[in-house]
Structure 1
Amino acid sequence: MTETRSALIVSHGQPSEPDPAERDLARFGTSVARALPGWHVGTATLAKPGALDAALAVAGPAPVVYPMFMTEGWFTGENLRNRLGNAPGARVLRPLGVSPDLPGLAADLIDDQIARAGWNPGETRLFLAAHGSGRSPNSARDTRAFAAALARHIALAEISVGFVEEPPYLADAATGIGERSLCLPFFAAAGGHVTDDIPEALDKADFSGLRLAPLGLAPAVPDLVARAIASDR
């Protein structure tokens, strides 16, 4: 009999209102599970009290843990490993945002949006709206690394980056980009930064380009995550 392997997808969630993010992640996990026959795929947000422990109780002592985060840092490192204390055999993969497959996926998404708009990639500017951090350089480092990798996949007029929590701030970075532009939130889910902070900043900047859904919600992301989990040895 083939033993069922376990995977656990973990995200930050929304501390102020944890249940909607928990449900959204569960739906995402269902999509990943469709591409992983023979696997148990659980989900948990760190923001919902007890969610991770409950998911670990089902997943067992040695799940493959996939962090639905866009950058590496304290949450995907020390904090997550400490909270996985009940699963001593857990193997934590690198987070979504640093996946080597993500820039190509994003390039395909952007190219499709540009074609739908009837634009030319070489005349189109991309604005990456990201989280950033006032305490650690990791978030900006990984965001800029993604932007550089993306530029190797698609030749745009410009790729610029702005942050919620550090300079260059969103509104400043988005000002004057022009009409033939796209804003792509470099976020794993549609939390408060995506639904509130980014639109507010774009309005302040008089941004007139296209506003895309966060990258983590791209239709091809569940398959990307499934491949990463399946390739773990």
Structure 2
Amino acid sequence: MCITRSHSRRAPAIDLGFADKIAVVLVTHGDRAGPVRNKALLSHTNAIYQRAQFCCVACGVLKGEPLIEEALQKAVQAGPALILVYPLFMSSGYFVETVLARRIAKGDLPVPVRVLPPIGLSARLPELLWKRSLEVACLAEFSPENTRLLLTGHGSKIGQRSAQATAQVARQLVTFNVFNKVQTAFLEEPPLLHNQLAADRGPTVIAGLFASDGLHAYDDVPAAIEETGANAVYTGAIGTHPEIVDLVLAELSDEGVRLS
């Protein structure tokens, strides 16, 4: 998907300096499940276009459609001086540092490309997770001071980047000093979500450190709650939250300041 700027009236824009010479490409892994695949990615792309004067806002995925190669080519066609690629991944690692980098390089694009750190490493993300978790706790009528916040990430069987990024976010969540305790859980490495839920029957808010409502976020987490009978509620994937758009624009603005 790519949206290029027309001359029709749009919503008030955020001033990012020379944004009209920059194309932005959002990239994620690609949903394998969920009600509408890549729905959040498409929605965020449109919202960013509405609020900033980039010459093109495109999105692509590593698996599925629209492919990252298509998004990059559409960005090039808009005639930018620079393409900023923002990975909607919750950590660095194989997909960001190897797969994405390889596919960008293979395109041999005639425009410089700068890949920003993934959204999961943003210093702004913990506050959004905290706000969403507190909101869900209140909706469930859980008293935060008596509630566990269980930050749940994907995890990996072959590397530590996901676990490290999740642990870093958890440390930041502790500093808000609202929930009774903050723990971590994963879907593909210990401590497994299923085990963490079974070990503590107290009220729990599961904060989903996921980019989208794909297979894990949409199916696996609710299934673990049901199977364990846990007294738990789920925030959903944080990457689908509407305020992710504000976060992305702030990160892009920071990059614009560094480039100016």
- Normalised by the length of structure 2, the TM-score is 0.81
2:210 maps to 187
2:58 maps to 42
2:14 maps to none
Question: Which amino acid in 2 is paired with 1:35?
Answer: R
Mapped to 2, the partners of 1:19 and 1:117 lie a distance apart of: 24
CA shift for structure 1 position 218: 1.8
- 1:30-88 Cα deviation digits (max 9, x unpaired): 12222323442110011026721111111127310000001110111121111112236
Equivalent pairs, count: 231
- 1:93-146 Cα deviation digits (max 9, x unpaired): 111111000111112222233334444322111112211000001111111111
Mapped to 1, the partners of 2:38 and 2:229 lie a distance apart of: 33
Q: Does the Cα contact within 8 Å between 2:40 and 2:239 map onto a contact in 1?
A: no
After superposition, residues 66-145 of structure 1 pair within 5 angstroms as 66-85=86-105, 86=107, 87=109, 89-145=112-168
The reply on whether 1:65 has 2:85 as its aligned counterpart is yes
The reply on whether 1:213 has 2:245 as its aligned counterpart is no
Unpaired segments ≥5 residues, structure 1: none
Mapped to 1, the partners of 2:138 and 2:66 lie a distance apart of: 45
1:32 maps to 48
The reply on whether 1:177 has 2:194 as its aligned counterpart is no
Question: Which amino acid in 1 is paired with 2:253?
Answer: A
After superposition, residues 10-21 of structure 1 pair within 5 angstroms as 10-14=27-31, 20-21=36-37
Q: Does the Cα contact within 8 Å between 1:131 and 1:165 map onto a contact in 2?
A: yes
Unpaired segments ≥5 residues, structure 2: 1-17
Give the fraction of aligned pairs with identical amino acids, expressed as a percent.
26
Mapped to 2, the partners of 1:127 and 1:138 lie a distance apart of: 19
2:187 maps to 164
Mapped to 1, the partners of 2:35 and 2:181 lie a distance apart of: 38
Q: Does the Cα contact within 8 Å between 2:185 and 2:191 map onto a contact in 1?
A: yes
Mapped to 2, the partners of 1:168 and 1:99 lie a distance apart of: 24
User: Which one has a bigger Cα radius of gyration?
Assistant: 2
CA 1:83–1:19: 2 relative to 1, 3 Å: farther
Mapped to 2, the partners of 1:127 and 1:141 lie a distance apart of: 15
Out of 164-173 and 57-66, give the one that drifted further: 57-66
Question: Secondary structure of the equivalent of 2:183?
Answer: strand
After superposition, residues 195-210 of structure 1 pair within 5 angstroms as 195-210=218-233
- Normalised by the length of structure 1, the TM-score is 0.90
CA 1:154–1:33: 2 relative to 1, 3 Å: farther
CA shift for structure 1 position 17: 6.6
Mapped to 1, the partners of 2:241 and 2:40 lie a distance apart of: 14
Mapped to 2, the partners of 1:19 and 1:43 lie a distance apart of: 19
Q: Does the Cα contact within 8 Å between 1:36 and 1:230 map onto a contact in 2?
A: no
CA 1:91–1:51: 2 relative to 1, 3 Å: same
Question: Secondary structure of the equivalent of 1:223?
Answer: helix
Mapped to 2, the partners of 1:50 and 1:221 lie a distance apart of: 20
CA shift for structure 1 position 204: 2.2
2:3 maps to none
C-alpha RMSD over aligned residues: 2.3
Q: Does the Cα contact within 8 Å between 2:34 and 2:215 map onto a contact in 1?
A: no
CA shift for structure 1 position 179: 4.4
2:12 maps to none
1:7 maps to 24
